Amino acid sequence: MTFILPEQLEAGAVLPQCLDGQYVPPDVFEALMQPGKTFADSRVQEDRRAATNVEFLRSLLYGSQIVVNRAFLINNHFLTDFFASPQKKNSSRQSFAKLMRDRAIVPFLAGEASLDDPLPFNTSPEGTNALKRLLEEVGSDFRSVRLGDTNDEAKRNAAKLGADFTGYFTGHKVMNIESEEVRNIFTAMLRELRGKAEVSEPDVRSFKENFDRVADFIYNYKSPSGSVGRHELYAEFFAWGPEAVVAGDYRPPRDDMPFHRELKKLIDLRYNTVLPDALHRYCLTPAHLPTRSALQTAYRGEGVRLLNQTAQLEEVRREFMALSQKSLNFPRITDFTLAHVVEVRKLDAWGAFRDAQSDVLSQMDPLKSISFLPRYNEAVYAFQEALHAYHRTHVVRDPIQRRCSMTVRLVVRVAGFLIDLLPVAEPVKMLYHVGSEFAWDLVPERIREVTVNLVVDVFDSEGHVRNEEHSRQLQILHDDAQYTKAELREFLENLHNSKELIATLHDNASQAKK
């Protein structure tokens, strides 16, 4: 094993939030707030396992490199399932080992000399045995990252991470909600936590009061160790006491904490961005949870934006990764195995996507970074196309589906470059969905030249090549007139749900199949 420092990680390296031991999708969290439901419930376990697997594979598809906290390689049984099998030859473990040798998976060590060193907390015996089998498969040809040149330096730097977690809440508490700028910050925060839903000013003020209660608890917390972490926040606000935290025994929202759900998301988000921030890399948030944008970390004190040029550049990169993650999803990922992911990462389109992302993140001038966005956007689109083709030819087992392969999508271009591929309404099923939400932030308030096409692609009997004769494209809108950004978004939302579009889809899909 070779140690590397954070700056030696790839530009687009990510840490998947799904590996956090408290990660639960929102619907599972709702179930856990019901009496008698805990992590031990069989349905809860099944749902958590499925969600973790999908997000872990997603991180390997869309992250050039992923960093995995060493503790997760032992104590996260959803992760260790990939390499826990006692069988001598196990394809999942072999794939995991190959990803480590290929530097695609990089363990993080807080201060230990090796993955074999004992950890300063309770560990799973099953996880310890699983890691032992993995290391036998991997050998010594892999890298681990740490926060210092020596074990002692790495340990000291890792010990400071707790203060970065709690400091976020105490730092934002001092913001005065009577300031319009501060209200805008907390409005943006609450909107992201609620999935872009509109929020009222009374909501924002109430949310700030709940936020301040968390900060006050941190500030006033007294314990023999003198430190407060997420476990203590969970015990105070979400679980039925300290012992219930690990068990996932959550209580329903209290009357005095109406933003119970939003605060849990925010606490988990900050907890899972502390290490990525220290490594100067990025947290890959699950598709159904808020992105890092919810933290609003570009602001301090009375809503004053960070002035340090280096810090500003890092915030630009974090925002790019946070917003672009919304487009990085493939709904049929549930069909994939770890072995499939290894093969996908060999595709030319994946390499082009990784390089385009690296070009955006590697620039020292934010304006120069923006100039690479159209190329990145096209690379995302091409990779999604390649993913679909790979799925069709290597993953799908149904021979009828392979003979009748078809995709239907809306292709939207603004000012000549791709903005979004919107999912179309049922009953025509989308096989994939790309949404480049980050690009909307670059679109001016007034727009010229908008094109929206409905595209139906039909592939040949083996699913290898696009069938030009039966594939078709229908232009729904092409206009050089001036629009506002709000008008364009309203048009696309109406189009997405229109009965006329559904009828058009039926007609075009039927003709394409004939």
Dihedral sign for Cα 143, 146, 151, 153, please: positive
- pLDDT per position as a tens digit, 246-297: 999 999 998 889 999 999 999 999 999 999 999 999 999 998 999 999 999 8
Range 31-36 average pLDDT: 93
For the ranges 34-38, 315-319, 490-494, the lowest mean pLDDT is seen at 490-494
pLDDT of 510 over the 60 cut: no
Instruction: Give the tokens for residue 294.
Output: 């919810």
* pLDDT for residue 117: 85
Instruction: Give the tokens for residue 331.
Output: 């709904």
Report residue 119 CA to chain centroid gap.
28
Pairing state between β 105-108 and 66-69: parallel
- pLDDT per position as a tens digit, 459-476: 654 444 556 666 667 777
pLDDT of 302 over the 50 cut: no
- pLDDT per position as a tens digit, 13-28: 999 999 999 999 999 9
pLDDT of 433 over the 50 cut: no
* pLDDT for residue 442: 60
Terminal-residue alpha carbon distance, the chain: 57
pTM of the model: 0.80
495/249: higher pLDDT: 249
- Average pLDDT over all residues of the chain: 84
Per-residue three-class SS string for 115-126: CCCCCCCCCCHH
Q: What percent of the chain has pLDDT over 90?
A: 54
* pLDDT for residue 126: 92
Which range of 143-157, 310-324, 498-512 scores highest in mean pLDDT? It is 143-157
DSSP class of 391? I
pLDDT of 398 over the 70 cut: no
* pLDDT for residue 427: 35
Q: What percent of the chain has pLDDT over 70?
A: 81
pLDDT band at 89 (very low <50, low <70, confident <90, very high): confident
* pLDDT for residue 225: 65
Exposure pattern of 236-246 as b/e (b: 16+ CB <10 Å)?
A: bbbbeeeebbe
* pLDDT for residue 325: 86
pLDDT of 407 over the 70 cut: no
User: In angstroms, rounded to a whole number, what is the distance separating the alpha carbons of residues 261 and 126?
Assistant: 33
